[in-house]
Structure 1
Amino acid sequence: MSLRDYPKSYFLLCIVAFLSMFSIMLTNPILSIYAKDIGATGVMIGWAVSGYWISRVVLEMPSGYISSKFGYYTPMAFGLILTVLGNVLMLFVRDPLFLVIIRAINGFGAPFFFAVSMTFIVNLVDASKRGQAMGIFQGIEFIGQIIGSTLSGRIVDSLGWQGGFMTALLLSAIAFALFIVPPYIRRETVQGPTAQPLKIGDVLGVLKNKTLMVIAAVTLAEFIMTSGLINTVLSVYANETLGFTLSEVGYMMGARSIGFVIAMFTMGSFADRIGRKPVLLFGLIGTSTLIIVMSGFTTLLTISAIIAIIGFTSGAIWIVGPVVSAEAVSPEQRGAAIGAYRTFFDGGSLIGPIIMAAVMTDYGVKPCFYLAAGLMLVTVPFVFMIKETGEVKGEVIAH
């Protein structure tokens, strides 16, 4: 299946995902700075960043059950509505506790849209092109995240925090309009899956799958690094200790997009050809090494260059993770498997800022780099345990 053969709903989902993630990340990378501006200190800074992920952890697993019961279209539309609502409420944040609460409300929308749309895409294409389809979708989603990160400092510098929140609201409203107005997604997905709805026990049952649990551990470690080290500690360290302006912090974070764009167009197809495991190992070992290397530099150019390469290596993990998760279970369990994958995705993003903020407060910045790299390297031996059959047997090709 070439890209020309993909239905219009696939490309529309990519656009909506881009705009939605753009809106989410427009202020997220420098939210730790905003939290300090309104009075947050210590671990509360970590909670301010993690608030968005609290509700996501709760809802990712049930999203597989919800999509099997109600179809794809309704949960995705509901998720986008919640994202818009969360961005409206961000305009009224005035203290750290309120920020945590509103970020939690904002996070309720993501599982309904992103987890359900990923399940839809996994079921849309055959196994031979699944890596490419998921790679492009996640890549475009991530580009929205990186562009938002890149522009965040510049927009807040120019428009103030309220202007940044208003811009995020506008982007999320456009995403919602693009989703509900054109008929493509509604026509194709409104009837949802044809199988019987999952039972709650089936949703929890996927957690017994060893391959899925390996991917869960890898994902947890990677997002502790991304959300805790890069998005929380590094942004504060760069601004307060290294003296980078908000715009420079945004550009530094945005450098990751260079590597990820390359990964988006190469690593998914590469994994389709040589297997998922080699790509996953490359991502883990490469990212861990680069984190240690980055801890020794203090200039904007060198840190940005390393973050760009980290975008490529960590992109390999992002692209392959959900594909292996879906392929490790039977087709009717894919929604639950994607939900489980994203639960640990969110879990790392939730606890990462809290852990890293605590380590930074008590021990300094350098140990945060070592901890992030160490957690990722610990998962490498478990990845070697994944077995790929190289062929489709009941659509389960990894175990």
Structure 2
Amino acid sequence: MSTQRNPWPALYALVVGFFMILLDMTIVAVANPAIMKDLNADVSQVIWVTSAYLLAYAVPLLVTGRLGDRFGPKNIYLGGLVVFTLASLWCAESTSINMLIAARAVQGLGAALMTPQTMAVITRTFPPDKRGAAMGLWGGVAGLATLVGPILGGVLVDWQGWQWIFYVNVPIGIIAFIAAYVLVPSLPTNRHKFDLVGVALSAVGMFLLVFGIQEGNTHHWDAWIWAMIIAGLVVLGLFIVNQARNTGEPLVPLSLFKDRNFAFSNLAIAAMGASVTSIFVPTYFYLQQVHGMSPTRSALVFAPMAILTGVFAPIIGKISDRVAPRVIPTVGFAVFSATLFGFSALMKPDGSIALFMVIGGIAGIANACIWAPLATTATHGLPVQQAGAGAGVYNTTRQVGSVLGSAAISALLSARIAAQGLPGGPIGEGGGGQSLSNLPAVVRDPILEKLSTALSQSLYLPAGILLIGVVASAMFVGHAKSSGDKQDDAAKANIGAH
């Protein structure tokens, strides 16, 4: 572990790129209607723009952390940043929905190369009494990025068009590359065996499962769709068996899950990833197509959520050090779930936008209770030599949750739209459809009522998923208070100062 230099500048440099790649998980949600209109796509296709990114991001995470150990986290991070930045340019230049989906998959691969290296640098450069504070910053950035994405996306879509949500990554990527090249130290490398069978099983299983769920409604849940979903579950089962029998270096060391808090933290963060990814699709369709808002105005509706998350994260970080690990995240998940049920109740053609923003602010405080406390609790009880592997599994679990959430909301939204007797296309925006604003009121109003109902009902999914987080967080146990733990607690109480 390096103790000869201040590790914070290196972490700040890495956080720039980390923030950017997490931003791209949610920045597309606000641009979906514009992308559908410009590229003549339908709902299922445009959600694949997000799912392709998430899938290509999630599957390699288990092995890209090992690549960082083998070739150096700095080198792999910089390589991933180059891939991500060039893929962003490809996204912006895409002229068809299929080209955009392909470019997003490459972008996700770049993100997968980058993410584990940020955790590796924390583990390998921060002394134990500073690691908690660094993890708090990492977790806070993760939470804030997912909420800021739609706001920034709305401004860019209105300013220059949806392409600019990808163009903007190019200068940021260049700045992040220079900062990391200068500030991140070159760390010692270690030889690793790569579990190629495990990589193949996890990739095939995830693809079959996600594709089946997301495309099920489009193909009327035919037998081959169910066969694909079942096959995906079987392959993922084989992956777990393979990991249990692997006597070398498995991708997922199952012994990690003997730590109760680590196991339940992974379940909770998967629920969080799934819910956050699936919230913004129906809510932005509602704000833009039922209320007729521009992308910028619709994104600003969620500004209180993002602002209050940023304000309360350091405050709640200090409070959480004084209470049992289960208290803060359990309350956070419960309140967050309640706010989504509140959103659902408001999603009518005449729903109050002011009340929507108030509920969003409460959701922001709830978010601050979840991201950083979960990240700290997940690895707190793991031995130092397992901290890197634990962080890799935790990151992967969050991304797998995000992928499944994106696929599930696509299937549910398409199903609810069809159940309301509405066309399964892009809800009056693309695919040759006529804009709802151009229709006479006698035709438009019943459509808006049905559309609001479909979008409102689809929010039950993320609201329900968050209840899994409530149960998982309630299962946490208290940390043993050794002298080393007390030093960590003192460091983590200073999260806000960093």
Q: TM-score range by the shorter chain?
A: 0.7 to 0.9
Give the 4+ runs in structure 1 shifted more than 6 A: none
Query: Residue type matched to 1:224 in 2?
Result: A
| Structure 2 CA distance for aligned equivalents of residues 273 and 5 of structure 1 | 28
Q: Which residue of 1 aligns with 2:184?
A: 185
Does the 8 Å CA contact 1:219/1:344 hold for their aligned counterparts?
yes
Greater Rg over alpha carbons, structure: 2
* Alignment of 1:224 onto 2:224: no
1:247 aligned to which of 296, 307, 326: 296
Give deviations 1:35-64, integer Å, cap 9, x for gaps.
Answer: 422122232232222111011111222233
Does the 8 Å CA contact 1:253/1:307 hold for their aligned counterparts?
yes
Give deviations 1:337-392, integer Å, cap 9, x for gaps.
Answer: 11111112111221212211221222222232222122221343333332233335
TM-score by length of 2: 0.70
| Structure 2 CA distance for aligned equivalents of residues 308 and 287 of structure 1 | 10
2:456 aligned to which of 346, 356, 366: 366
TM-score by length of 1: 0.86
Assess, with a 3 A threshold, how the Cα gap between structure 1 residues 228 and 177 changes in structure 2: closer, same or farther: same
Q: Which runs of 5 or more residues in structure 1 are unaligned? A: none
Q: Residue 295 of structure 1 aligns to a residue in which SS?
A: helix
* Alignment of 1:39 onto 2:48: no
Q: Residue 390 of structure 1 aligns to a residue in which SS?
A: coil
Cα root mean square deviation, aligned: 2.8
Q: Identity over aligned residues, as a percent?
A: 20
**Pairwise CA distance, 1:77:** 1.1
* Alignment of 1:337 onto 2:390: yes
Does the 8 Å CA contact 1:229/1:369 hold for their aligned counterparts?
yes
Does the 8 Å CA contact 1:129/1:272 hold for their aligned counterparts?
no
**Pairwise CA distance, 1:287:** 0.8
1:309 aligned to which of 358, 362, 366: 362
* Alignment of 1:274 onto 2:361: no
| Structure 1 CA distance for aligned equivalents of residues 402 and 18 of structure 2 | 19
Does the 8 Å CA contact 1:131/1:323 hold for their aligned counterparts?
yes
Assess, with a 3 A threshold, how the Cα gap between structure 1 residues 148 and 171 changes in structure 2: closer, same or farther: farther
Q: Residue 108 of structure 1 aligns to a residue in which SS?
A: helix
**Pairwise CA distance, 1:162:** 3.2
Q: Residue 46 of structure 1 aligns to a residue in which SS?
A: helix
Q: Which residue of 1 aligns with 2:432?
A: none
Q: Residue 389 of structure 1 aligns to a residue in which SS?
A: coil
* Alignment of 1:214 onto 2:264: yes
Does the 8 Å CA contact 2:287/2:293 hold for their aligned counterparts?
yes
* Alignment of 1:203 onto 2:199: no
Aligned residue pairs total: 385
| Structure 2 CA distance for aligned equivalents of residues 16 and 245 of structure 1 | 28
1:384 aligned to which of 474, 488, 491: 474
Alignment of 1:8-157 (within 5 A): 8-18=9-19, 21=22, 24=24, 27-37=27-37, 38-125=39-126, 129-157=130-158
Q: Which runs of 5 or more residues in structure 2 are unaligned? A: 196-248, 417-453, 489-498
| Structure 2 CA distance for aligned equivalents of residues 246 and 6 of structure 1 | 39
Does the 8 Å CA contact 1:91/1:166 hold for their aligned counterparts?
yes
Assess, with a 3 A threshold, how the Cα gap between structure 1 residues 380 and 216 changes in structure 2: closer, same or farther: same
Give deviations 1:247-278, integer Å, cap 9, x for gaps.
Answer: 11221233321121123212333333324322
| Structure 1 CA distance for aligned equivalents of residues 403 and 84 of structure 2 | 18
* Alignment of 1:375 onto 2:471: no
